[in-house]
Amino acid sequence: MDKFMESRWFMRVVGLLLAFILYLSVNFDDFQKTANNSSNPQTSFDTIQNVPLEVFYDSENLVVSGLPETVNLTVDGPKAIVQPTKTLKDFQVYVDLNDVGIGEHQVPVEIDNISDKLKVKINPEFVTVTVQEKVTEEFTIEPEFNTGLLSNGFEAEGLSVDPKTVKVTGAKDQIDQITYVKATLDIEGEISENVTREAKVQVLDREYNKLNVQIEPEYVDVTVSVVNPSKEVPIAIKKKGSLPEGTTLESISVEPETVNVFGRQEVLDSIKELTAEVDLSKVTKDATISVPLSLKDGLNKVAPEEVKVKVDVNTKSEKKVSGIDLKPEGLGEEYEVTILTPEGGAIDATLQGENGAVEKITKDDFNLALDLTDLEPGEHEVEIDAEGPENVDWTLSQDTVKIRIEEKNTSA
């Protein structure tokens, strides 16, 4: 026996029996239905699902809760009647509460307008309902919207709803639970202008659960009015970098000196000025620079959007040229001249002008002549007849020199 139970054929037979038993259990209802129908080919047994359940009661003064929306029917009878009944559904399933008072009741589910040749079973056969007094009260609507939808810098100036109140009808216990009556503006995109949209009214308890009540009207108009606050502020110049070597700043000014900036009021209140940044390292001569104005978060507009910064600079530099030789002219060959002052017979020149031009000038660019024509031997003070570069300003360390004229010694 042990060998037989451990054999492969034993396991196959057991598995087949278990599969057959499972098949029978799953399809038992179908077998039963087939058996019923086969016992009498002229009868049929079927189920009609999701049949609407109607209710009769004093709807003007009462509210009913606890009723299912649909029920299921099982019908048994002549096939010629069952099939049209299932297809047409021209019967009525209902509960009658006209003689039921306020409170909780268990009432039967009834059916009308169905053939008496059919056996009908309703599931459920009884329902538990609660009948309450219908109450209507008027409530003020609280309009609301998502402030995150406001465009940058805009503020809500006002929020209104039309009409301002609604009538809410329902069971007294539901009306007593009303804590909030809201109409929320539902809109896509950012809000940068006044907008009005239709909004659905919601009636909620203190836990923000929606209450099963009737609302009249169900939709209202919600309007949000927006503003873009502004403020006039001065412009401050912020210097960045340094002027190139040899260039000095004479003056810097901005036009206009004030601008109008727009944005949220709390941001405007914190702003004392706007900054125009100028990079001096790029300024090599007098210039007027257009500078855009940047805005911080909470601001959305500035008028004008840019200002003009006028920069006046001095690009002149100074240079000293030393040892410029003096050239005596017009003296007869029988005489000789000695320059007493300055010592060495050379003077200096101070140059002022554009940086590049000044740097190129040397003492060879000067011609300093002394006109000694018709002068007698002795000491004299002679003006310097000077010629020099024309593209810069220059001055000599002195305008006259002291000389001595003597006859040459010819005895040798």
Band (3; pLDDT cuts 50, 70, 90): low
The reply to whether domains 230-314 and 316-407 share a CATH topology is: yes
CA 139, distance to chain mean position in Å, is 36
Q: Return the pLDDT at 106.
A: 94
pLDDT band per the 50, 70, 90 thresholds, residue 186: confident
pLDDT of residue 27: 53
- Looking at residue 35, what is its pLDDT? 46
Q: What is the pLDDT of residue 10?
A: 62
pLDDT at 302: 93
Residue 263's beta-bridge partner residues? 299
Confirm if 349 and 321 have CB atoms less than 8 A apart: yes
% pLDDT > 90, the chain: 61
Does the domain at 316-407 match CATH 2.170.120.30? Answer given as: yes
- The owner of tokens 């040229």 is 321
Max distance between CA atoms of the chain, in angstroms, equals 177
Considering only CA atoms, which of 347, 384, 382, 339 is closest in space to residue 363? 347
Cα-trace Rg, the chain: 56
Top pLDDT among 15 and 151 is at 151
Q: And the tokens for 267?
A: 């941001």
- Strand locations in 109-151, DSSP E? 110-112, 119-123, 126-140, 142-144
- Domain spans in the chain, listed from the N-terminal domain onward: 2-131, 141-227, 230-314, 316-407
| pLDDT (average), residues 254-267 | 93
Q: Which residue has the tokens 């990079």?
A: 279
Question: What is the reported pLDDT for 152?
Answer: 86
Mean pLDDT of the 252-258 span: 94
Would you call 15 helix, strand, or coil by DSSP? helix
Query: How buried is residue 335: exposed, middle or buried, by Cβ count under 10 Å (0-12/13-18/19+)?
Result: middle
**Which fold, 141-227?**
RNA Polymerase Alpha Subunit; Chain A, domain 2 (2.170.120)
Q: Which residues are CB-contacts of 11 (< 8 A; sequence separation ≥ 6)?
A: none
Inform me whether the pLDDT recorded for 358 exceeds 90: no
Q: Tens of pLDDT along 197-238?
A: 999 999 999 999 999 899 999 999 999 999 999 999 999 999
Q: Are 321 and 362 in contact (CB under 8 A)?
A: yes
Q: What is the mean pLDDT of residues 241-266?
A: 89
CA–CA dist 165, 304 (Å, integer)? 46
- % of the chain surpassing 70 pLDDT: 91
Q: What is the pLDDT of residue 38?
A: 46
Nearest Cα neighbor of 259 from 309, 310, 301, 288 is 301
CATH architecture for the domain at 230-314? Beta Complex (2.170)
Domain 2-131 has CATH 1.10.10.60: no
